Amino acid sequence: MSYRVVNPYNGELIKEFPAATDEEVEQALTDANNFYKQAKKQPIEQRAEQLAALADEFTKRADYYANFLTANMGKLISEARGEVKKTVAFARYYVENGAAALVDQDYTAMAGRKAHLEFSSIGAVVAVEPWNFPYTQVMRVFAPNFILGNPVILKHASIVPECAQAFDDACKAAGLPTGAFKNIFATYDQVNQMIGDPRVQGVALTGSEKAGELIAAEAGRNLKKSTMELGGTDVCIVLNDADLKKAVAGAVSGRLRNAGQACTSAKRYLVQSGIYDEFLTAIKKEFAKYQSGDPLNEKTTLAPLSSKSAQQNLQKQVKAVLDGGAKVLWGDPTAVEGPGAFFKPLIISGMTYDNPMYDHELFGPVAQLYKVDDEKGIVELANHSNYGLGGAIYSEDLDKAHKLASKIETGQIAVNQPLSSLPELPFGGIKKSGYGRELSNLGIREFANIKTVLG
């Protein structure tokens, strides 16, 4: 198993890291367990101060941390700075609100008997994280668990080891106690060993459906609590009465940000027939404005994909989409040659339920367009998916939009804006998009012992 940084812009090997030894894994578990025990005796306020110091560290050296994102997975430097900012926002949310989400909750049991809930730590959590948002994904798990008193051991994606190391270094620079956070360049076997270890009481995965099946099965075999933040085929619904400008801006940025590699990207545009032609003309114009190039150049607006293998995989998927009968409405589906992992954006239509790629997540700048007549058709098409992560609805009739939102089978949905993760709001999916919630007051309780005390 190798952890390697290969610059997606030019294919150059930047750095390799050896996989962890079993001794390193054991040390991480020992340190984590010591932190867990120590944190039980410590006031939350002390950890809130330490988490604030971590947020300060990311803020002070934002450009330093942002550069690793661009070098490791090709993110535009402006988006990389944005990710560092969001990482800080996630930390600060739990600095300010974490303790409040953990105060005892009173219940009134029958006939005047009293009861309350306590929220407390349970042990180490293994976080298995993806490359597409290398810092925010880690902070989403780390910040709430740190406040709660659960140590976190990170197994990051093998293509972003410098980002993983940088997060670990940031924790050290901020003076966080030993064992609170540890990055391990673990093999899959070592991840399984950690899940089976009694010092570990939870596993949080963000990644693909395939990894979800394997890791959830391992957690189940060991009766460990797990959360699964998996992929999606999110819809962007545009009704006849939408504000066209708003809908187009949200649809296009929702599909092309992070080079189309976001779990909640607007992957399927479902557009009502009355606005379809105007919408299509406008999105073609917007797509044409995107310029690929060096992600470190501030003028570049479309980054390369995260790796050569991501590029080749998407190219294969697009071929299967087109062989299956769909057609290109805008863009050039031929592969980009050369060492960079570039992919030319596409707008495709004619995806039918029997297309072999229908309901597969296309993780890159490929938008699917569907013309739909009425609300019944929209709901049928939107819900004809094994996934259920997020979505967006554009309509100037808010009441209608909210009623429609209730009928869409997803864990979250936005009205008149692209869906984005905010620290205050629960984030997660249903169906094959996974289970559990991150962020907000719910995220901090996922790996808590929710203890009922009667009397």
Determine if 389 is a binding residue for ligand NAP (CB under 6 A): yes
139 and 174 Cβ atoms separated by less than 8 Å: no
Main-chain phi, psi angles of 5, to 5 degrees: -100, 115
Binder of ligand NAP out of 17, 64, 119, 188 (CB under 6 A) = 188
The interface with ligand NAP within residues 329-358 (CB under 6 A) comprises: none
Does 153 help bind ligand NAP (rule: CB under 6 A)?
Answer: no
Nearer to ligand NAP by Cβ, of 139 and 215: the residue is 215
Q: Which of 180, 230, 283, 444 binds ligand NAP (CB under 6 A)?
A: 230
Nearest residue relative to ligand NAP (C-beta): 207
Structure tokens at 418: 């692209």
Q: Give the interface segment with ligand NAP, choosing from 77-85, 116-124, 151-159, 251-259 (CB under 6 A).
A: 151-159
Q: Is 82 helix (H, G, I), strand (E, B) or coil?
A: helix
Q: Which is nearer to ligand NAP, 68 or 131 (CB)?
A: 131
181-183 sheet: strands from edge to edge: 181-183, 152-155, 124-128, 200-206, 225-229, 434-435
Q: According to the binding rule CB under 6 A, does residue 387 interact with ligand NAP?
A: no
- Shortest distance, CB of residue 53 to ligand NAP, whole angstroms? 26
Sequence-separated (6 or more) residues with CB below 8 Å from residue 312: none
If binding is defined by CB under 6 A, does position 207 make contact with ligand NAP?
Answer: yes
- Residue 49 is a catalytic residue: no
State the catalytic residue, choosing from 83, 129, 162, 229: 229
Among residues 116 and 225, whose Cβ is nearest to ligand NAP? 225
> 54 or 228: whose CB is closer to ligand NAP?
228
Name residues whose C-beta falls within 8 Å of residue 341's C-beta, 6 or more positions apart in sequence: 8, 9, 11, 74, 304, 305, 306, 307, 308, 310, 311
Nearest CB to ligand NAP, comparing residues 304 and 434: 434
Alpha carbon dihedral 418, 138, 140, 188, in 10-degree steps, equals 100
Catalytic residue among 163, 171, 236, 263: 263
CA distance 368 to 180: 43
**Residue closer to ligand NAP, measured from CB, 54 or 211:** 211
Q: To the nearest whole angstrom, how small is the minimum distance from the Cβ of residue 230 to ligand NAP?
A: 5
- Tell which one of 88, 157, 401, 439 touches ligand NAP (CB under 6 A): 157
Distance from C-alpha of 392 to C-alpha of 340, rounded to nearest angstrom: 32
Residue closer to ligand NAP by CB (options 73, 88) is 73
CA distance linking residue 373 with residue 247, whole number of Å: 18
Mapping DSSP to helix (H, G, I), strand (E, B) and coil, where does residue 231 land? coil
Tokens in use for 389? 């992560």
For ligand NAP, the binding residues in 286-325 under the rule CB under 6 A are none
Q: Which of residues 244-273 bind ligand NAP (CB under 6 A)?
A: 263
132 binds ligand NAP (CB under 6 A): yes
- Longest Cα–Cα distance of the chain, Å, equals 74
214 binds ligand NAP (CB under 6 A): yes
How far apart CA 218 and CA 233 sit, in angstroms, is 26
Count H helices, E strands: the chain?
14, 20
Least distance to ligand NAP from the beta carbon of 133, Å?
A: 6
Q: How far is CA 196 from the centre of its chain?
A: 25
DSSP symbol at 266: -
| Nearest alpha carbon to residue 247 among 194, 210, 286, 212 | 286
Q: Does 128 bind ligand NAP (CB under 6 A)?
A: yes
Does residue 201 sit in helix, strand or coil? strand
Is 236 noted as a catalytic residue in this protein?
no
Which of 35, 94, 131, 167 touches ligand NAP (CB under 6 A)? 131
Which segment (203-211, 240-248, 290-298, 317-325) binds ligand NAP by CB under 6 A? 203-211
Active-site annotation, residues: 229, 263
Residues interacting with ligand NAP, by CB under 6 A?
128-132, 155-158, 188, 191, 206-208, 211, 214-215, 229-232, 263, 361, 363, 389, 429, 434
